[in-house]
Amino acid sequence: MTDLNGLIVFVETFGCQMNESDSERIAGLLVAAGARLTDRPEDSQVTIVNTCAVRGKSEEKLFSYLGRLRSLKKKTGLRIVLAGCVAQLHRDRILDRNPEVDFILGPDNYHLLPELLERRLGRPRVFTAWSKDWREDERRLSLRRSPVSAFVTVMEGCDNFCAYCIVPFTRGREKFRPLRTVLDEVRILAGQGYKEIQFLGQNVNSYRDPDTGAVFPDLLRAADEIDGLEWIRFITSHPKNFGPELAEAMARSRHVCRQIHLPLQSGSSAVLERMKRSYSREEYLEKTRVLRSLLPGICLSTDIIVGFPGETESEFSETLGALDEIRFANIFSFRYSPRPHTSAAKLKDDVPFGVKRRRLMDVQQAQKAIQTRIHEGFIGRTIRVLCQGKSKKDGRVFSGRSEGYQVVNFRSEADVIGRFVQVRITSCGPYSLRGELAESP
């Protein structure tokens, strides 16, 4: 049995909810093997850097961070583990560029960590093999950072090969977790007092139970029956897999939040075709109309990429028009950057950087105005909020999320973390709501 004998470990995370969930899993594995966690790399004996490769900018941040760890390693003898998507993507050249890294671990190899740390990083130093089978053992060990909201992974990988997307090359092909083990984990979390769960997957609505063939709407219906849960969310959905059955399952549920992240990427059908997204602008708009007819008041969020190869001013204006028509509650927007191995990397990156930067600013300014108008509509209303934390500067200011996933800040004399509270909205900005408790805790 592996024994890390109090080894002091720090875990740094770059990237999305899936990366955050993976870091919780890594931390749980190591603590179960006898390690201790610290919140500072300076205090650690081993620092694990869990990485994201979706965009070039995230890689730049990573390598800058590794430079700082290199200096720390010279002073303290720190051991450095590079894990996750960048480790998988650049496994063949990282050690040449970054000799301070002791070993490299792809996303399908986290279960090896305790043994590798115990035997002090002997060769080989690169572990990036893929498994076609779902690995369940360590899921139950996740060391969750939030006492309120929990990630539950239901699938990994992606088979879509969108032109710009590197995920199939860093996360592999789709594989699905058995429905029975998903529901077992949800029941345990509900019994532990978690109020909210978020189902995770690179393309969560392509889920299919390997044992019974049950699909994602079946999973939602089954989870909705579990006692103790209040809110169920899921991310990320691909529009091409988002059909009426899923919308109807959401509408008929008691606990699935009236909120969804549905990546549009571009408002131009021509750009979507070049992106290999398998839907048109009008098909996407029709899906949003169905959602809003079945779930009035639903909050939609999305991803937008500007400056994809060949994007004209006319095509870009269609994206601005889509934002105005759909009125997303929130967006994540990015400049296009070529990623290795993707089909778009073979195209000429012909939109100048300055144009990309201006288009990104235009998107963000347009969305800022939309969100401000949406938030102004909440002023005077009382909404239900799940409190998730409090301000480090003022212990009487708390923060939570509404069902629509808006950030809500409010004051309370009592500690209400982990509780649902009613908050009357008194003011707002483009990125959050502010209010006061409508009832005493």
Please state the pTM of the whole predicted model: 0.94
Alpha helix stretches (DSSP H) within 311-419: 313-326, 353-376
Are residues 291 and 300 in contact, defined by beta-carbon separation less than 8 angstroms?
A: yes
Q: Please report the pLDDT score of residue 135 as a whole number.
A: 84
Burial class (CB in 10 A: 0-12, 13-18, 19+), 196: buried
pLDDT digits (tens, 9 = 90+) for 32-85: 999 999 999 999 999 999 998 888 777 888 888 998 999 999 999 999 999 999
pLDDT digits (tens, 9 = 90+) for 147-200: 899 999 999 999 999 999 999 999 999 999 999 999 999 999 999 999 999 999
- The structural domains of the chain, ordered by start, are 8-127 (3.40.50.12160), 137-376 (3.80.30.20), 382-437 (2.40.50.140)
Q: Position 106: which residue type?
A: G
194: closest CA among 252, 240, 151, 238?
151
pLDDT digits (tens, 9 = 90+) for 379-430: 999 999 999 998 888 889 999 999 999 999 999 989 999 999 999 999 999 9
Burial class (CB in 10 A: 0-12, 13-18, 19+), 70: middle
3-state secondary structure 114-151: HHHHHCCCCCCCEECCCCCCCCCHHHHHCCCCCCCEEE
Q: Give the angle 411-416-420 at the CA atoms, nearest 5°.
A: 100
